[in-house]
Structure 1
């Protein structure tokens, strides 16, 4: 791909992130994406084939960016949760894109290659932390991951953002804390 084509694709994806996060998949308009990216509709369809496949490309891109910028650390899941919460606060469009995917497509974006690989990597990291004894093995690794991710999606209500972030970290610390009572352990997956 030439440099101009790569730059054009980047502009299209950047414009699509804004359009999809603001309007959802059904409400997004390719002509607005074309105008915002200084390209044209024909080029968008040439590169991506359809609006739905453009959304898939956007979704894959944000998952890869999140994995690269906020890598999981199973030995410090509370710290990971704090960093992920910060990432989401700095980029609220990421949460909206996930919501639109869940609402309009039943979470199909999470079934795509990049999100599946990212999820599997996180589950594996947590399972390894459970085997090493740094993460409570009471819950299956996948369940624990889902809980941590759900906590990271929360927004401050009445308290300050900093207080809420501290609550996110404390909640994850409680969930993953290794206790002396191992009678109720569930086998990590």
Structure 2
């Protein structure tokens, strides 16, 4: 039944996301993924070909979901950064998997085209806003995007020891800091 195959793939992707977020790419085990998905290891290899291909599929899906759920608005980069922060808070597996991906995959594979296309789209939107005078041109569009993405993810990228300095900062305060920081980046 085609619906069953699609449901199995969805369960494997969800279980893979949980496993990769928890253990990293190297530490993830296909037997645990299969068990969590109420499937078997053979299905992982049938649908994805390998654990590495499953990682790529999980990462592509996370990127596609983020692009869909948090589209860039180059006329409101502080709001865009805040929405990214909200997504990271609501789905902590996203920054965790991204961190594992950077640590374990940097320079070892061809870039995933979904990520390349997403970045190119964002840079083009920022360039258009810069040409229109809506955004400052003190940084080129790729640099500005890097700054915004870094600020949006700053809380999720800190060590637990550093975050103790901000014990009194609730989610609303952290979000406000992100908005203020990106706003300051854009000041003339």
Return the TM-score normalized by structure 2: 0.90
User: How far apart are the structure 2 equivalents of 1:166 and 1:59?
Assistant: 28
1:171 aligns with 2:176: no
User: How far apart are the structure 2 equivalents of 1:57 and 1:110?
Assistant: 14
Alignment-derived partner of residue 119 in structure 1: 119
- Work out whether residues 101 and 109 of structure 1, in 8 Å CA contact, stay in contact via their aligned partners in 2: no
1:2 aligns with 2:2: yes
What secondary structure is seen at the aligned counterpart in 2 of 1:111?
coil
Cα displacement (A) at 1:58 = 0.2
Instruction: Structure 1 unaligned segments of length 5 or more: list them.
Output: 180-189
Correspondence 1:96-175 to 2 at 5 A: 96-106=96-106, 111-155=111-155, 157-158=166-167, 159-175=169-185
- Work out whether residues 110 and 116 of structure 1, in 8 Å CA contact, stay in contact via their aligned partners in 2: no
1:78 aligns with 2:78: yes
User: How far apart are the structure 1 equivalents of 2:113 and 2:120?
Assistant: 11
TM-aligned CA distance change 1:170 to 1:164, over 3 Å = same
Alignment-derived partner of residue 41 in structure 1: 41
TM-aligned CA distance change 1:134 to 1:98, over 3 Å = same
User: How far apart are the structure 1 equivalents of 2:94 and 2:24?
Assistant: 12
- Work out whether residues 59 and 109 of structure 1, in 8 Å CA contact, stay in contact via their aligned partners in 2: no
What secondary structure is seen at the aligned counterpart in 2 of 1:56?
helix
- Number of equivalent positions: 178
Cα displacement (A) at 1:160 = 2.2
User: How far apart are the structure 1 equivalents of 2:179 and 2:73?
Assistant: 13
User: How far apart are the structure 2 equivalents of 1:110 and 1:90?
Assistant: 29
Return the TM-score normalized by structure 1: 0.90
Instruction: Structure 2 unaligned segments of length 5 or more: list them.
Output: 156-162
Aligned-CA RMSD value:
1.6
Alignment-derived partner of residue 183 in structure 1: none
Alignment-derived partner of residue 30 in structure 2: 30
